[in-house]
Amino acid sequence: MGDSPELTQSLTMLASVPMFSGLTKAQLRYVVQSAKERSYRAGEAIVRQGEKGIGFYLVVEGTAQVERGGKPVATLGPGQFFGEMALVEEQPRTADVRATPGPVRCLVLSSWDFWSAVGKEPEVLRTLFKETVRRIRANSAALSE
Ligand code: CMP
C-alpha cells in the first residue's frame, strides 16, 4: 500500500528542513510516524513561558511568534522549530509561542521521540545545537540592552 497524501506531504516537508535533511528516508518516516499533528487557532498560545516542556514543535503551515516578557523576539515559519530548549535542559519554557497572525499547523514530537530523532545523526544534533546557541545569544543580548 502507498503512503497517504498527508504522510507524503509530511515526509517531503521534513526532508526539506535543514535540521532533518541528513536523515535517511527510513529515519524520516520514523520521525513523521511518531509525531502528532496539531493545529492552533489564530492568537492561540502553543507553549507558555515558565511552563514545563513536554514537546518539540516543527511548524508545517502558518507562522508562530516567539514572545519573551510579552515582547515579540522572533517569527518562525514552515520548516522552523521551537520547544527544544525546555527539552534539552529539562527546565521551564523560556518564551511564549503563539499562532500569529493566522492559524498554525505543527508536527509535535514528545521528548522521547525528539531525543530519538536527534540522537540518530550527529548532523541533526549539530544543527539543533547551532540554532539553540544562536537563540540563547539573542536572548541574552536583548536582556543586556
Ligand atoms: P522552549 O524554551 O522550550 O520554549 C519556548 C521556545 O521559544 C524555546 O524553547 C525556543 O524554541 C524558542 N525561542 C526562545 N528564544 C528564541 C529566540 N530568540 N529566537 C527564536 N526562538 C526562540
For residue 69, report the distance from its CA to the centre of ligand 1, in Å.
12
Pocket test for ligand 1, best of 52, 114, 135 (most atoms within 8 A of CB): 135
Q: Whose CA is closest to 64, among 87, 52, 48, 88?
A: 48
The more confident residue out of 48 and 4 is 48
Average pLDDT in the chain: 91
Pairing assessment for the beta strands 104-110 and 36-40 based on DSSP bridges:
antiparallel
The more confident residue out of 141 and 62 is 62
Burial of 122 (0-12, 13-18, 19+ CB in 10 A): exposed
Crossing angle of helices 5-16 and 25-34, rounded to 10° = 120
Is 96's C-beta closer than 6 angstroms to any atom of ligand 1? Answer: no
> 9 falls in which pLDDT band (50, 70, 90)?
confident
Give the Cβ contact number of residue 70 at 10 Å: 7
Residues in a beta bridge with 47: 97
Model pLDDT for residues 57-78, shown as the tens digit of each residue: 999 999 999 999 999 999 999 9
Model pLDDT for residues 11-43, shown as the tens digit of each residue: 888 888 888 888 888 888 888 889 999 999 999
Cell 529515519 sits on residue: 27
Q: Whose CA is closest to 52, among 82, 75, 83?
A: 83
Pairing assessment for the beta strands 45-47 and 81-82 based on DSSP bridges:
unpaired
Is 98's C-beta closer than 6 angstroms to any atom of ligand 1? Answer: no
Say how far apart CA 38 and CA 1 lie, in whole Å.
25
The C-alpha cell at 136 is 540563547
Model pLDDT for residues 110-119, shown as the tens digit of each residue: 999 999 888 8
